[in-house]
């Protein structure tokens, strides 16, 4: 487990309680701000402006580079890269499964990390899925939801895309749990961050093409899909296990573009 993850578990009870109470007050206070067509999206005017900015950046930079990546890099290498970053994210998922008091999911996730990091060659091969060790993806926003914190209004973040106020407030802790951020060498850390972004954008190209064909309003479609998914995994006192997620299969969730 990373030093960052240990730091999260090592937070004093009073400190953690103060942070959670502050976030609770922020969320409940801001949830009534503004007015719009959808009560979940009171800041729709602002969100649509940020959405258009993100779309422009994606069209000009991310999408062309991702298409080039898919055209040049062999499929087995793309799958290996996706598996590698998926294994890193499983470490943070383990921490959040523990924080959510999910013993079975915690044990399976820890076993996944151990198996994929050794037999799976640092995660490049997803051996764990082949022996039915399911992926239970969790993040700190879901952990806050597990303990009763409301999601708050929908929020589109510059470059980062769809979010909620609760998930945005959880981002500093999310950064602490990001193993890529622990790499000391700055060029290596930047390269891994860029490669992860490229991998995510490349995996969303097909879903983005289908979205363009099916959705009359991309903004509304992605907003509704995002809020439904987050509600299903983060806003209930007890969360049902998600289906197994395989990085070598086509993604079906709607992308930023």
Tens of pLDDT, residue by residue over 92-149, are 999 999 999 999 999 999 999 999 999 999 999 999 999 999 999 999 999 999 999 9
Distance from C-alpha of 68 to C-alpha of 55, rounded to nearest angstrom: 18
Give 135 or 211, the one with higher predicted confidence. Answer: 135
Query: What is the pTM for the complete model shown?
Result: 0.76
Residue 61 inside a domain? The answer is yes
Residue 240 inside a domain? The answer is no
Q: Cβ(144)–Cβ(16) under 8 Å? A: no
Q: What's residue 235's pLDDT?
A: 53
Distance from C-alpha of 156 to C-alpha of 163, rounded to nearest angstrom: 6
Helices (H), 31-159: 44-57, 63-72, 75-99, 103-118, 127-130, 140-146
- pLDDT (mean) for 179-193: 96
Total count of domains within the chain: 1
Give 167 or 257, the one with higher predicted confidence. Answer: 167
Q: Is the dihedral of CA 250, 252, 255, 257 positive or negative?
A: positive
Q: What's residue 80's pLDDT?
A: 98
Question: How far is residue 1 CA from its own chain's centroid?
Answer: 19
**Domain enclosing residue 127, as ranges:** 3-234
- pLDDT (mean) for 52-76: 96
Residue 242 inside a domain? The answer is no
- pLDDT (mean) for 57-82: 97
Q: Is the dihedral of CA 90, 91, 97, 103 positive or negative?
A: positive
Residue of 148, 146, 141 lying closest to 226 (CA atoms): 141
Q: What's residue 232's pLDDT?
A: 60
- pLDDT (mean) for 154-161: 96
Residue 257 inside a domain? The answer is no
Residue 253 inside a domain? The answer is no
Residue 21 inside a domain? The answer is yes
- pLDDT (mean) for 180-207: 95
Distance from C-alpha of 180 to C-alpha of 192, rounded to nearest angstrom: 7
């Amino acid at each position: 487990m990373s030093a960052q993850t240990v730091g999260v578990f090592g937070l004093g009870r009073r400190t953690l309680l103060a942070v959670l109470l502050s976030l609770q007050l922020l969320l409940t206070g801001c949830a009534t701000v503004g007015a719009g067509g959808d009560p979940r999206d009171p800041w729709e005017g602002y969100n649509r402006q940020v959405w258009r900015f993100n779309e422009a950046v994606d069209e000009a930079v991310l999408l062309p580079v991702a298409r080039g990546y898919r055209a040049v890099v062999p499929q087995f290498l793309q799958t290996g890269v996706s598996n590698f970053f998926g294994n890193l994210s499983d470490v943070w998922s383990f921490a959040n499964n523990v924080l959510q008091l999910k013993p079975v999911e915690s044990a399976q996730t820890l076993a996944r990390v151990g198996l994929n990091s050794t037999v799976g060659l640092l995660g490049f091969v997803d051996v764990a899925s082949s022996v039915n060790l399911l992926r239970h993806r969790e993040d700190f926003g879901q952990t806050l939801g597990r303990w009763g914190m409301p999601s708050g209004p929908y929020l589109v973040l510059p470059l980062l895309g769809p979010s909620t106020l609760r998930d945005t407030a959880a981002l500093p802790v999310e950064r602490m749990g990001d193993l890529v951020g622990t790499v000391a060498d700055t060029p290596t850390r930047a390269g891994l961050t860029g490669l992860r972004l490229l991998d995510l954008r490349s995996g969303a190209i097909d879903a983005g093409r289908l979205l363009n064909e099916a959705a009359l309003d991309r903004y509304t479609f992605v907003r509704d899909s995002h809020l439904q998914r987050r509600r299903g995994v983060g806003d209930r006192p007890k969360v049902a296990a998600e289906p197994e997620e395989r990085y070598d299969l086509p993604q079906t969730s709607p992308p930023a573009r």
